[in-house]
A and B are shown apart, each in its own frame.
Chain A
Amino acid sequence: ETGVTQTPRHLVMGMTNKKSLKCEQHLGHNAMYWYKQSAKKPLELMFVYSLEERVENNSVPSRFSPECPNSSHLFLHLHTLQPEDSALYLCASSQRGAGYEQYFGPGTRLTVT
């Protein structure tokens, strides 16, 4: 039990669909992250939220839209995705300034058809 949950675990969507990924952390952390993990590539940091404010956006296409309504919840809204967006999307949380240890959720395996 990592204390970070993600739903759904698997998602198949067409290029014209709109869907959202959800992440919830039960650790009392003040920062949350979205990562993309593609086969044989390092984890790619997409977005960072600290105290519900977006502090980092690593040149992610606008078809990915994050939302952080409070310190426990993080969403990634998806629309008009491309097949190359198929990957494992991981959410993580941490306490900023306290060693930067991140705790990951189990991920959402996304397939874009």
Chain B
Amino acid sequence: TQLLEQSPQFLSIQEGENLTVYCNSSSVFSSLQWYRQEPGEGPVLLVTVVTGGEVKKLKRLTFQFGDARKDSSLHITAAQPGDTGLYLCVTTDSWGKFQFGAGTQVVVTP
């Protein structure tokens, strides 16, 4: 059974600081998505990465896919209160089976 871990579980920072959250799997996956979920709402897709070593940027967010396609990181530069939310990673294996991580709760205070 593929094990998908996200770390840290919780992160509280001040506005303007940088942060990084991680997603690690025990198995190689075909693709990985990052989502952000705000309280009382559904997750919103941020990015999909499929190639080992791939780096994608979305404004102040930088997503990196590990070379071995078993891990990923999300880095936020100069965090803002609007970045507050639950960050979820989802991996899909070569058979189309997907798995959600438990998420990292990020709180950015003004």
Chain B: residues with Cβ within 8 Å of the partner, total of 20
B48 within 8 A of A: yes
A90 within 8 A of B: yes
A66 within 8 A of B: no
Question: B residues 70-95 with Cβ under 8 Å of A?
Answer: 88, 90, 92
Among B40, B96, B101, contact of A42 (Cβ-Cβ < 8 Å): B101
Question: A residues 78-113 with Cβ under 8 Å of B?
Answer: 88, 90-92, 96-97, 99-107, 109
A17 within 8 A of B: no
Q: How far is the CA of A2 from the CA of B41 in the complex (A)?
A: 11
A4 within 8 A of B: yes
Question: A residues engaging B (CB < 8 A)?
Answer: 2, 4, 6, 40-43, 45, 88, 90-92, 96-97, 99-107, 109
23 A-B pairs within 8 Å (CB atoms) are namely A2-B42, A4-B42, A6-B42, A40-B102, A42-B100, A42-B102, A43-B88, A88-B40, A90-B42, A90-B43, A91-B42, A96-B96, A97-B96, A99-B48, A101-B33, A101-B45, A102-B33, A104-B35, A104-B42, A104-B43, A104-B44, A106-B42, A107-B40
